[in-house]
């Protein structure tokens, strides 16, 4: 009975908050049913021979591919050499691989945690500078944030080094990610995230970490991922999950409404606290005291 009363209170707070903020809230989870592409039998998607290709300088076929989840469209470029019979990619791929190990290049879709944020399966894998995500809201979009962690490939290089880049062992060794938000008027704001850094010892992201992107402001139409490092040989990968986007449509300032807001607790529709997003209605308490509802299919 107490759980039911609590659930009713949460739903009432949600209804009140939605009237006050008038916001559309979406979380791109990349789970099956929440994304419009299918992962292959090896547990990843990196585009493919979809549509008509353009032909590159060396005769390679270049395919521009997309994957949609929530209000976000991930862009990936898939290239295939018909003469040599090999392929490569760059941009935003998807994975549901649970291993955190890196042994061969086929493990480039693994992350250091193993699996998605909040104990989920799927997540996105970014490879290369200039990788982009389109935000599918006409105006007023605020990217609240995302969960982020290092890829297994990058972390293997940071800890052990390889023939392209030595391990991080000297003060000043670093790998930094810059997430750039481009607005409808083509102005930009950015947020920096230090993925790995050696000062007196190695410090690196080894779990799913929430990154607040609300400082990018409103009317964000595109996100771009850029990397910088002390070494040109460091693998430029990062993994992310649960990309949260909102849109305020009653004239209330979106920046004021969502700035510095992060999820602090999650509940099922019955009011019972849960550790991660589950299928159906999820009630999320934010750090500013507001309550939001997310439907996970």
Please give the pLDDT value at position 3.
40
Identify which of 251, 219, 256 has the alpha carbon closest to the alpha carbon of residue 140: 219
Q: How confident is the model at residue 197 (pLDDT cuts 50, 70, 90)?
A: very high
Please give the pLDDT value at position 2.
43
| Across 46-58, average pLDDT | 95
Please give the pLDDT value at position 15.
44
| Across 264-284, average pLDDT | 71
pLDDT over threshold 50, residue 163 = yes
| Across 255-264, average pLDDT | 52
pLDDT over threshold 70, residue 260 = no
Q: How confident is the model at residue 51 (pLDDT cuts 50, 70, 90)?
A: very high
Q: How confident is the model at residue 274 (pLDDT cuts 50, 70, 90)?
A: confident
- Cβ-proximal residues to 62 (8 Å cutoff; 6+ apart), any chain: 53, 54, 55, 56, 77, 78, 79
Please give the pLDDT value at position 262.
65
Of the chain, the percentage scoring pLDDT greater than 70 comes to 80
- Cβ-proximal residues to 101 (8 Å cutoff; 6+ apart), any chain: 107, 110, 152
How far is C-alpha 28 from the geometric centre of its chain's CA atoms?
Answer: 8
Please give the pLDDT value at position 140.
80
Give the mean pLDDT of the chain: 86
pLDDT over threshold 50, residue 1 = no
Q: How confident is the model at residue 12 (pLDDT cuts 50, 70, 90)?
A: very low
What's the pTM?
Answer: 0.79
| Across 195-219, average pLDDT | 95
Alpha-carbon dihedral angle through residues 69, 131, 147, 47, given to the nearest 10 degrees: 40
Alpha-carbon dihedral angle through residues 63, 238, 259, 27, given to the nearest 10 degrees: 60
pLDDT over threshold 80, residue 21 = no
Q: Tens digits of per-residue pLDDT, 90-147?
A: 999 999 999 999 999 999 999 999 999 989 999 999 999 999 999 998 678 899 999 9
Q: How confident is the model at residue 9 (pLDDT cuts 50, 70, 90)?
A: very low
Q: How confident is the model at residue 62 (pLDDT cuts 50, 70, 90)?
A: very high
Please give the pLDDT value at position 60.
96
């Amino acid at each position: 009975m107490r759980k039911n009363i609590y659930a009713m209170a949460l739903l009432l707070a949600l209804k009140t908050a939605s009237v006050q903020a008038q916001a559309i809230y979406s979380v791109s989870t990349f789970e099956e049913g929440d994304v419009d592409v299918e992962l292959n039998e090896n547990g990843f998607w990196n585009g493919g021979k979809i549509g008509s290709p353009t032909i590159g300088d060396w005769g390679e076929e270049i395919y521009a591919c997309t994957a949609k989840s929530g209000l976000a469209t991930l862009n990936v470029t898939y290239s295939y050499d018909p003469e040599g019979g090999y392929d490569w990619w760059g941009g935003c791929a998807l994975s549901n691989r649970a291993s955190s190990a890196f042994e061969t290049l086929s493990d480039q879709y693994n992350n250091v945690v193993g699996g998605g944020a909040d104990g989920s399966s799927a997540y996105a894998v970014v490879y290369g500078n200039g990788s982009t995500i389109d935000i599918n809201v006409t105006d007023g979009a605020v990217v609240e944030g995302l969960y982020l962690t290092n890829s297994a490939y990058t972390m293997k290089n940071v800890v052990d080094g390889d023939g392209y880049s030595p391990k991080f062992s000297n003060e000043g060794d670093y790998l930094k990610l810059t997430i750039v938000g481009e607005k409808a008027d083509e102005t930009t704001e950015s947020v920096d995230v230090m993925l790995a850094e050696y000062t007196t010892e190695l410090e690196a992201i080894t779990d799913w970490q929430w990154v607040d992107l609300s400082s990018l402001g409103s009317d964000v139409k595109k996100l771009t991922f850029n990397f910088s490092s002390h070494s040109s040989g460091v693998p430029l990968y990062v993994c992310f999950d649960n990309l949260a986007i909102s849109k305020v449509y009653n004239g209330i300032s979106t920046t004021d409404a969502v700035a510095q807001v992060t999820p602090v607790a999650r509940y099922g529709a019955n009011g019972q606290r849960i550790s991660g997003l589950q299928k159906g209605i999820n009630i999320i308490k934010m750090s500013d005291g507001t309550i939001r509802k997310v439907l996970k299919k």
